[in-house]
A and B are shown apart, each in its own frame.
Chain A
Amino acid sequence: MTPVILLTGFLGSGKTTLLQRLLRHPSMEGTAVLVNEFGEVGLDHHLLDQIDENVVLLKSGCICCTVRGEVADALANLHSMRTRGEISFERVVIETTGLADPYPVLQTLTAHPVLRSHFSNGGVLTTVDTVNADIQVTHRAEAVRQIAAADRIVLTKTDLAAPQEEEALRQRLLRVNPAANIITSMSSVETILADFGPLSFFTSSKSATQNHICGPGCGHDAPTKCDSLTDQHRHHDETFGVTSFSLEIEGGIDWTMFGTWLTLLLHKYGDRIFRVKGILAIEGEALPIAIHGVQHLIHAPTHMDHWPKGMDQSGSKSSHLIFILEDIEPEKIRRSFHAFMNVDTVKAAAR
């Protein structure tokens, strides 16, 4: 499977600059690049052309409604060319237009009958303009979705912002997406790419607890006291209009009923659940399963070969689920989850 990294971020947030840096790095050798642009003339294409010959420009602009077929065609074409021996590459980077919701591209990778056998989600990298983030996120829903879909957020233009502004933004971004690692574009390419992928939240050296920012609603004074993502642990950002919360479930859960519940929840509320991500302890299984989804889409769950540090303390296995929601009351999700998981299937079906 060839990983596909999705590079997204709002207009002018520094996606192309970051991509140029990444592509120059030796570890990114063998990368095919798809560039999607909104506008008559694709300038980014020319900027990148010098770096990598496998650049395909998707011409029709807005990736969210028109280009899905083009993304699929471009990826299928790359695959065909590689099979014929005309080109070789080990990974693909798709740079989306700044106005794109990342969800359709991720869905294309999962749902396309050919692509899903050859390409996998390599993670979503989102650039956020430190100076203008507040204005962009307040006025454009796409910017929130890009942040919510991110596995790693790269803050750009940090040299133009005051340190306290950057720190405030970091905390707000974590309230929107507690499952993302946040770094700055000043970091080395090695740092930006270290352990990067859809499961980087669970597999990177930073554990889930370290990445957690406590606010006034947490009941903790400092992040160091926040040693678990507890049931109903939630954060709400008024300006971004997004709530994130985590659910911790002790003991193993019934995978089949969980699947029934989550499928129904996403069927009904997928457009308002920007992200669901978690590690599940499954009844009858020794090792956890990681799941991650964006809106209506759940990627194929991943079997982990070990428990992440700090999540299997004293042998008591527990599941952690993180939700990023818009206009949904977290308490309802918690209650619904427990109602489904505790149901007596024989009693219920006897109705």
Chain B
Amino acid sequence: MCSLCGILGCDDHWTNAVVRPGVYTRNHDTLARRTETARRLKSANAVLSFRRLKLDVWQGRSYVVASPTGASSVFEALSHLWPEAEALAGREFDPLDDTFIEWMEGQALS
């Protein structure tokens, strides 16, 4: 826990359980951890941009998702990402929605 702001940095999302440097919460290799975080941001932002939202790291231990109008929301673990993003966008992210899938397909690697 960060003694300054009391934020619990315990991202225990199931995706953490993969053997890769930087993934585990108790990993003290700062560089590897930041690389892994950057990888997650990249994946999430590719999806969030459908509703023009952007995810970033907050204080190195939490996440902040922001809308183009500047509204933002801070949360601790990736498991909270989608409820927070939907609340901020005011609309849902439906991975089986045709429009959403078509948009994702339009962003495919060429």
- Chain A interfacial positions (CB closer than 8 Å to B): 254-257, 259-261, 263-265, 267-269, 282, 284-285, 289, 291, 298-301, 303, 328-329, 332-333, 335-336, 339-340, 342-351
Are A336 and B101 neighbours in the complex by a CB distance under 8 Å?
Answer: yes
How many pairs of residues, A versus B, come closer than 8 Å at their CB atoms? 111
Residues in B with CB closer than 8 Å to A259 are 13-15, 40, 43, 78
Tell me the complex Cα distance, A8–B94, Å. 33
Residues from chain A with Cβ under 8 Å of B25 in the complex: none
Residue of A whose beta carbon sits closest to that of B23: A255
**Would you list 6 pairs from A and B whose C-beta atoms are within 8 A, ordered by A residue?**
A256-B43, A259-B43, A264-B93, A298-B14, A340-B104, A351-B50
Cβ B107 vs Cβ A300 within 8 A: no
Residues of A within 8 A of B14 (CB): 259, 291, 298-301
The residue of chain A having its C-beta at the shortest distance from the C-beta of B44 within the complex is A260
Give chain B residues whose Cβ lies under 8 Å from the Cβ of A260: 40, 43-44, 47
**A344 vs B49: C-alpha distance in the bound complex, in angstroms?**
12
| Distance from B100 Cβ to chain A, minimum over Cβ atoms (Å) | 8
A259-B15, A351-B49 as given contacts; A345 in contact with B43, CB under 8 Å: yes
Q: Does B29 contact A (CB under 8 A)?
A: no
Question: Please, which residues of chain A bring their CB within 8 A of the CB of B94?
Answer: 268
Give bound CA distance, A168 to B82, whole Å.
Answer: 42
B80: min CB distance to chain A, Å: 10
B15 & A285 in contact (Cβ 8 Å cutoff): no
- Of residues 5 through 21 on chain B, the ones whose CB sits less than 8 Å from some CB of chain A are 13-15, 17-20
Q: A269-B96, A333-B96 are in contact. Are A339 and B108 (CB under 8 A)?
A: yes
Residue-wise, chain B 69-106 has the 8 Å CB interface mask toward A (1 for contact) of 00000000011011100000000111110000100110
Q: Evaluate contact between A335 and B101: CB separation under 8 angstroms.
A: yes
Instruction: Find A289's partner among B18, B47, B95 (CB 8 Å cutoff).
Output: B18
**A342 touching B96, Cβ below 8 Å:** no
Determine if A257 and B43 form an interchain contact, defined as CB atoms under 8 angstroms apart.
Answer: yes
Could you list 18 further interchain pairs (A-B, Cβ under 8 angstroms) beyond the known A259-B78, A260-B47, A339-B105?
A254-B43, A255-B18, A256-B43, A257-B43, A260-B40, A263-B82, A265-B95, A285-B19, A298-B14, A301-B14, A332-B96, A339-B104, A343-B46, A343-B107, A343-B108, A344-B107, A345-B42, A347-B107
> What's the Cα separation between A254 and B36 when bound, in Å?
12
Question: Is A344 a contact partner of B79 (Cβ separation < 8 A)?
Answer: no
What chain A residues lie within 8 Å of B17 (beta carbons)?
300-301
Q: Are the C-beta atoms of B15 and A263 separated by less than 8 Å? A: yes
Nearest B residue to A338 by beta-carbon distance?
A: B105
